[in-house]
Amino acid sequence: MPDSKFVILIVDDEPDLLDITCSILEMEGYIVSKASNVPHALQLLETITPDIIISDVTMPEFSGFDFFSRVRQNPRLQNTPFIFVSGHSDFAHVKIGKELGSDEYITKPFEPDLLLSVIKGKLKRRQQISDSFAHQIEQMKSQLFNIISHEMRTPLTSILGATEILAEGKDSLSAEDFTEFLEMLKAGSKRLNTMVEDFLLVVKIESNDIIREVANTEALISPRQFVDRIVQDFEPVIRKKELHVTLPDTQASTGLSVYLPHLENIIRRLLENAVKFAPPKGRVEVHWTEDDDTCTMAIRDNGIGIPKEFHQDIFAKFYQINREKHEQQGSGLGLYIAQKLAEANKCSLWLESEPGKGSAFFLKVPKLYH
């Protein structure tokens, strides 16, 4: 008997077979709801959420295929295992049932043990998927907690601390100290704002609202000027670390099929990472190449590099390598956002890196043709 009371909905216009199947399943400990036609089944689904749906194919008024389509339109039932049980054993019917996306297609007459085995297997798989999803949710909760407790608390602490000092000691602070605390406020506020903007952008990406923005995918850029303008935003860090930055040689304008703000967003994130992970007095290089159909920008640093086994994971949401060791600032959303923006614009983004040899991110963008 099942460990818990699973609910099964059976739809079949053959009364005898319907009653026999219900009896077998009830003897196995399942809770069974039955319907002899699709309208009745749809009515039942307004009040129950079955763990499995079993349906005949040929029925009056609406077929089992029609019923399957209606079921999958309901968000609440999109992941419910759906089994066809039909007297049609010909390839054409089986093919339709499989292509629709059903979980199983059993032909009549069938052995009760076969149906029971299929049901148990589908319920087991559903539980595995549910457990995996729950585990992912818990991981995400933990990651969010870490981000909120560290990435948000750190700038908030600096903002509050600077605000208190400015409020309490405004008369005794030197002009230099006053400027320093204002810079602290500015840096903390900027860091918080960047994090909030990233979270909002992730929501826009995952709700597919980002697709509306890529309707305008015509951009004309001069690679050297375009990159130089973005690099200027990192000039304080570049000077502090004494980095050597190489810009693209190409100055001639190039037409690209990409939404320009997305391109700038991607390159900014890749440059930020390169500047962050390049060692003091290290190198950051930006190269530009073209072929007949695409342009590729490569952003390299000579930092610690990334082991091959992490190359795919690094584009995952919230993923950071050895955060405790390297103490990166950020939410772990940068490369995830960059990858999703690239995909939305039909661009390709990938990584080449080895430990001790630095990292190189490549962005391939389609050229614009009129």
Q: Name all contacts of 78-81 with Cβ < 8 Å and 24+ positions apart.
A: 79/126, 79/129, 80/49, 80/50, 80/51, 80/52, 80/53, 81/51, 81/52, 81/53, 81/122, 81/123, 81/125, 81/126
Residue 280, preceding peptide bond in cis (omega within 30° of 0): no
Retrieve residue 76's tokens. Answer: 């609440």
> Which residues are 245's β-sheet partners?
284
What residue ranges define each of the domains in the chain, with the CATH number in brackets? 7-110 (3.40.50.2300), 143-207 (1.10.287), 211-366 (3.30.565.10)
Retrieve residue 213's tokens. Answer: 């923005």
Q: What percent of the chain has pLDDT over 90?
A: 49
How many angstroms separate the CA atoms of 246 and 248, rounded? 7
Report the pLDDT value the prediction gives residue 166, as an integer from 0 to 100. 76
Dihedral over alpha carbons 273, 276, 281, 287 (to 10 degrees): 10
Residue 156 · residue 192 · CB < 8 Å: yes
Report the pLDDT value the prediction gives residue 211, as an integer from 0 to 100. 83
Average pLDDT of the chain to the nearest whole number: 86
> Which residues are 299's β-sheet partners?
286, 361
Instruction: Give per-residue pLDDT as tens, 8-26.
Output: 999 999 999 999 999 999 9
How many angstroms separate the CA atoms of 11 and 41, rounded? 7
Retrieve residue 61's tokens. Answer: 């008024």
Report the pLDDT value the prediction gives residue 312, as an integer from 0 to 100. 82
pTM: 0.60
Instruction: Give per-residue pLDDT as tens, 288-309.
Output: 999 989 999 999 999 988 888 8
Residue 89 · residue 46 · CB < 8 Å: no
In three-state form (DSSP H/G/I as H, E/B as E, the rest C), the secondary structure along 166-204 is HHHCCCCCCHHHHHHHHHHHHHHHHHHHHHHHHHHHHHH
Instruction: Give per-residue pLDDT as tens, 166-196.
Output: 777 666 777 777 777 787 787 778 777 777 8
Place of tokens 């860091």: 191
Instruction: Give per-residue pLDDT as tens, 41-72.
Output: 999 999 999 999 999 999 988 999 999 999 99
Angle (CA) 67 72 78, round 5° = 135
Retrieve residue 336's tokens. Answer: 């995830």
Report the pLDDT value the prediction gives residue 23, as an integer from 0 to 100. 94
**When comparing pLDDT for 222 and 161, which is higher?**
222
Report the pLDDT value the prediction gives residue 287, as an integer from 0 to 100. 94
Statement: residue 136 has pLDDT above 80: no
Retrieve residue 197's tokens. Answer: 């903007």
